[in-house]
């Protein structure tokens, strides 16, 4: 099926230049209260272009990177080098205490006039197509992550919903809500990426793996300038750098590959400790 792609230009005050890497795909639903998802889609496009959105009296506005319509329409509101200035950052109580999600996210508004309106097959399909492209472009794993604790950087990479973020909880947001099927969407997303079903990692398990990945990169960067440390005569593959490279390569394919990351990390740590003591 051929889907429509269109674009609009949001009000300048509703977007900012991105200075941090994209780590998150952020899913919202519109909840505009109109007669249909088609009307909500059109109304959302209009609102993002309106000078009344984010007026001086209000002090903040609402916007998103993209909008998905009921027939699979995809409206690009801003490029990946920009982010919504307020939506995942401010709110009814002013600036956030938690980190600003939109600074590190590409956000999608999926047209849904009310909380009880079902999402369409075309919306799931088109969103999966676009998010798969984002995952490839920004090296984001296809996992659903809960950010309600208000995680601070480094931000765990993944996909999330407005009702799974600290800002969403602060504002009492429930979108995309009970009508949204995470299992269905994530299955479609992984299919678009050509991946098998994952190991059923919990958000906590995924968080640990991503933290381990960050640690491996830091260790690798620290050691790169010192040459390959083979002081005990081990092969390059068994050296600190070799083990780190193995860990990085394996974690880079997570969560679709089973990895005993803790064992690898311990081996690398032990090796590093021994070499540092020499």
CATH number at residue 93: 3.40.80.10
For residue 197, being part of any structural domain is answered with no
> Can you give the pLDDT at residue 129?
95
Which residue among 192, 216, 243 closes a domain? 192
Residues 227 and 124 in one domain: no
Of these ranges, 72-86, 116-130, 157-171, the one predicted with the greatest mean pLDDT is: 116-130
> Can you give the pLDDT at residue 203?
60
> Can you give the pLDDT at residue 13?
85
| Residue 93 confidence class, pLDDT cut points 50, 70, 90 | very low
Which residue among 192, 225, 248 closes a domain? 192
- Say if residue 12's pLDDT is above 60: yes
The two tokens of residue 111 are 């047209």
Which residue among 163, 192, 221 closes a domain? 192
Residues 164 and 208 in one domain: no
> Can you give the pLDDT at residue 175?
94
Residues 184 and 244 in one domain: no
> Can you give the pLDDT at residue 85?
82
For residue 110, being part of any structural domain is answered with yes
- Say if residue 146's pLDDT is above 50: yes
Q: What is the pLDDT of residues 32-73, one digit of tens each?
A: 999 999 999 999 999 999 988 876 445 567 899 999 999 999
Whether 228 contacts 236, CB under 8 Å: yes
Residues 186 and 212 in one domain: no
Whether 147 contacts 165, CB under 8 Å: yes
Residues 162 and 208 in one domain: no
Residues 187 and 226 in one domain: no
Range of the domain at 218: 203-277
Q: What is the pLDDT of residues 209-246, one digit of tens each?
A: 666 666 665 665 565 554 444 434 445 555 555 666 66
Residues 80 and 188 in one domain: yes
Residues 111 and 132 in one domain: yes
Q: Select the more confidently predicted residue: 160 or 59.
A: 160
| Residue 167 confidence class, pLDDT cut points 50, 70, 90 | confident
Q: The tokens 């609402």 sit on which residue? A: 62
> Can you give the pLDDT at residue 219?
60
Provide the domain count of the chain.
2
For residue 250, being part of any structural domain is answered with yes
Residues 244 and 129 in one domain: no
Instruction: Among 76-80, 148-152, 208-212, name the one with the lowest average pLDDT.
Output: 208-212
Residues 240 and 184 in one domain: no
For residue 198, being part of any structural domain is answered with no
| Residue 262 confidence class, pLDDT cut points 50, 70, 90 | low
Residues 143 and 270 in one domain: no
Q: Indicate the average pLDDT of the chain.
A: 78
Residues 173 and 249 in one domain: no
> Can you give the pLDDT at residue 109?
98
């Amino acid at each position: 099926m051929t889907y429509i792609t269109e674009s609009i230009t949001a009000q300048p005050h509703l977007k900012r230049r991105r200075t941090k890497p994209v780590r998150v795909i952020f899913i919202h639903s519109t909840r505009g209260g109109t007669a249909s998802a088609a009307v909500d889609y059109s109304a959302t496009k209009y609102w993002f272009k309106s000078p009344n959105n984010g007026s001086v009296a209000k002090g903040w506005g609402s916007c998103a990177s993209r909008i998905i319509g009921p027939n699979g329409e995809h409206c690009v509101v801003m490029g990946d080098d920009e982010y919504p200035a307020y939506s995942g950052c401010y709110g009814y109580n002013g600036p956030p205490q938690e980190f600003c999600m939109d600074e590190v996210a590409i956000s999608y508004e999926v047209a849904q006039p009310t909380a009880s309106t079902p999402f369409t097959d075309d919306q799931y399909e088109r969103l999966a197509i676009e998010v798969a492209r984002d995952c490839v472009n920004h090296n984001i794993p296809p996992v659903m992550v809960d950010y309600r604790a208000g995680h601070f950087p480094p931000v765990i990479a993944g996909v999330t919903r407005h009702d799974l973020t600290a800002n969403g909880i602060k504002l009492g947001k429930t979108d995309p809500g009970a009508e949204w099927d995470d299992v269905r969407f994530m299955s479609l997303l992984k299919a678009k990426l050509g991946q098998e079903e994952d190991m059923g990692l919990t958000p906590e398990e995924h968080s640990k793996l991503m933290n381990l990945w960050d640690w491996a990169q830091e260790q690798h960067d620290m050691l790169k300038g010192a040459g390959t440390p083979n002081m005990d005569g081990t092969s390059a593959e068994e050296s600190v750098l070799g083990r780190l490279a193995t860990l990085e390569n394996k974690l880079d394919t997570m969560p679709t590959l089973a990895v005993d990351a803790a064992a690898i990390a311990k081996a690398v740590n032990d090796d590093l400790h021994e070499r540092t003591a020499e």
